[in-house]
Amino acid sequence: MITREQIPTVLDHPVYDSAGKKIGDARHVFFDEVSGQPEWVSVKTGLFGTSESFVPIHDATVVEDHLEVPYLKNKVKEAPNVDVDAGGHLSEQEERRLYEFYGVDWEAAWRQTQPDAKKAAGRPTDEAMTRSEEQMRVGTERRETGRARLRKYVVTEEQQRTVPVRHEEVRVEREPVTEANREEAMSGPEISEAEHEVTLHAERPVVETKAEPVERVRLTTDERVEEETVKGKVRKERIEADTDENDRRS
């Protein structure tokens, strides 16, 4: 349990759960009006600290500049919402709900302290009244709106190319016997049979394919900023003075 002297170290400082995770910041400390000991601490949770959860403080400890409570963060955030009256008191019914939620023996606590009401002691009070206002804070959250993917597949298309091809044909050449070629013409037998064979060649088109890299494709995202108007309701306290001065004048 923390002492009254440690309250300035607790208020507006972080509150951590039993696993070392930050729950939020301490907002108020509530005292038992019989024993005068701190009994509850309210913790600002949620986005921008818009929610407030109550946590028992009797088993809490102050470590350096923060408060550690023996409960998990999710447990604290799921604590029932309770109403604090204008004087900063917790009613018996509200306190019973909190005791039951945290598994604290209500009957034992009642016998020890007889808590008729708990008074908030966020800071030393004086004769002035504090007026508070709710402030609307607007933030953004990132959420998934869709997915895009690259998919590669193969298609086959017909292509046409023209390529020259060559082939050999037989052509018979005849030349008369002259003095220049007579010796070659007379080198064989006078009358005989003979054959001479020539091999013919022809070219034909040959198709060959080879994969070549031609392009690199990737997915990127571009961020666009648009203006959106959001509305919310905030509560403000007003302070008016009621006097009987007018009655005395009449």
Q: Residue ranges per domain, the chain?
A: 4-120
Please give the CATH architecture assigned to the domain spanning 4-120.
Answer: Alpha-Beta Complex (3.90)
Name the pTM for this structure. 0.42
**Mean pLDDT of all residues belonging to the chain:** 81
Q: pLDDT digit string (tens) for 183-233?
A: 887 887 778 888 889 999 999 999 888 999 989 989 888 888 888 888 888
3-state secondary structure at position 137 = coil
Beta bridge partners of 52: 44
Q: pLDDT digit string (tens) for 138-188?
A: 777 778 888 888 999 899 999 898 999 999 999 988 889 898 888 887 887
Q: pLDDT digit string (tens) for 110-144?
A: 555 554 444 444 444 556 788 888 888 777 777 88
3-state secondary structure at position 58 = coil
Output the CA–CA distances (angstroms, integers) from residue 52 to 3, 14, 28, 86, 198, in the order listed.
22, 13, 10, 16, 106
Residue 114 backbone dihedrals phi, psi, to 5 degrees = 45, 65
What are the strands, taking DSSP E only, across the chain?
14-16, 22-32, 38-45, 51-56, 61-63, 66-68, 89-90, 118-120
